Structure 1
């Protein structure tokens, strides 16, 4: 068969199949936020640049409740965090930790630190349809958080930080509530002291020069499967393919 005829044949039969596969997107997935904390938590959701805002960027969950919603059917990446100590003061909505510009619906805005972060990358890897996820304490801690995939294939571990680090947070890292003065957050060393070495900036901005510190070690000892400084590499690896649900649990 002549090369031109072969190319015509391939384009005639294969191109429509490729377009159908693309139009269908990836397998459906559900995102579920679960509040197991003994207080109200208001999850915030911020997409990475170029991705859509999910659920208007935020909502509140009473204790022992959850909310599920469809994940995007194409590639999406972003972060989820918990806002705590939230209240309405007239038209103003504010939170003691994780506040996003005084809004209930964050609408693409990020949250104030310190805050525990879930980092998600859904439907990536081309035809492999991988979902990657991790919990970061690089910006500090406010509540325990775990990520649980369901019905996935491959390496799909439950990861995160189950511990409540607030009672043992070193005094120099503590964030206290404006009312009552109780500890509501635990800062990273970078956030507390803002040095190049602790923040892995300038000459320290490489895997060779960015090192763990006594402050990141505090988080790592309690939650070894989390990221605790900029170039940290937790030992737990995963490549979870096509999970039916990804569950983010606050206060596991």
Structure 2
């Protein structure tokens, strides 16, 4: 009985220490860089797992950047979600605000609906996971602006693929199959939409060839030798850059 009591006390102490460590771990940051050549409104949606929906998301003129803190140590104890560029936005926030790409509701600094087709920067921030954060670029729905994700202040182990950049800066619209390409009001190519996100298509083949470190279809991470997902436990944050479309 005495041994069991000591063991229980030890377990409680260890649990308390682990909880304290998790609580003391600072939240990561995400920095957005606009290198797209146009004004962008940053959008975000979250996984349906209690992750906090973000407000106060930045609006960036071309060449600007902004940094937010991810609420991973909030009530949910993690943050899992995605960021995307809202393009061609106009109207009065809270009323008729609307975006040509990445539309997600009538507010300029937060999303109230699911996003329309756009390229995504996806993250899993979880203090309980020693291998987190995990990150990837996804063109499973569509692609307009090329996206890269790069960790900040990282110190990865030698000979590992941790903390590597994912996505690509190369314009992708020139490789879009014509039947999947739509233009903007100026007639220039604007969006390439995946015709079937859950199977390989000429769309995913084109993206895999020119941007192998991004999802071109939903099951790409199950393909042998795929190169789409990374993690970086040593980073203080990550930088998402939206590049020029052509």
**Which of the five TM-score ranges fits, normalised by the shorter chain?**
0.7 to 0.9
Cα distance in 2 for partners of 1:55, 1:169 equals 33
TM-score, normalised via structure 2 length? 0.82
Give me the whole-angstrom Cα distance separating, in 2, the residues matched to 1:181 and 1:20.
56
The ranges of structure 1 where at least 4 consecutive aligned residues each deviate by more than 4 angstroms after the TM superposition are none
Counterpart for residue 33 of structure 1: 32
TM-superposed deviation, 1:146: 0.3
8 Å Cα contact 2:166-2:230 kept in structure 1? no
Q: Which of 162, 166, 170 is the aligned partner of 1:163? A: 170
Structure with larger Rg: 1
Distance in 1 (alpha carbons) for counterparts of 2:15 and 2:82: 35
Q: How far off its partner does 1:17 sit? A: 2.6
3-state DSSP class of the match of 1:34? Answer: strand
Q: Distance in 1 between matches of 2:92 and 2:23?
A: 46
Out of 129, 133, 142, the residue aligned to residue 144 of structure 2 is 142
Residue in structure 2 matched with residue 241 of structure 1 by the alignment:
233
SS at match of 2:113: coil
Residues 152-200 of structure 1 deviation map (CA, whole Å, 9 limit, x = unaligned) = 34310011121222244332111222x333321011122xxxxxxxx43
Question: What are the equivalent positions in structure 2 for 1:1-252 lying under 5 Å apart?
Answer: 2-7=2-7, 9-10=9-10, 13-24=13-24, 26-49=25-48, 50-56=50-56, 58-74=57-73, 75-88=78-91, 91-113=95-117, 115-123=118-126, 126=128, 128=130, 130-154=132-156, 155-177=162-184, 179-190=185-196, 199-200=197-198, 210=199, 212-233=200-221, 234-251=226-243
Alpha-carbon RMSD: 2.4
1:221 counterpart SS class = helix
Deviation at 1:94, TM superposition (A): 1.5
Give secondary structure in 2 for the equivalent of 1:83: strand
Cα offset, 1:236, TM superposition: 4.9
Aligned residue-pair number: 229
Say whether the 8 Å CA contact 2:42–2:86 is kept in structure 1. yes
Following TM superposition, by how much is the alpha carbon of 1:218 offset from its aligned partner in structure 2, in angstroms?
1.2
Cα distance, 1:9 vs. partner?
Answer: 4.0
**Which consecutive unaligned segments of at least 5 residues does structure 2 have?**
157-161
**Alpha-carbon distance in 1 for matches of 2:14, 2:189:** 60
Aligned partners of 2:69, 2:163: CA distance in 1, in Å? 20
TM-score (norm 1): 0.81
Q: Distance in 2 between matches of 1:55 and 1:242?
A: 27
Q: Is the 8 A contact 2:105 2:112 kept in 1?
A: no
Do the aligned partners of 2:34 and 2:61 also contact (CA within 8 Å) in 1?
yes
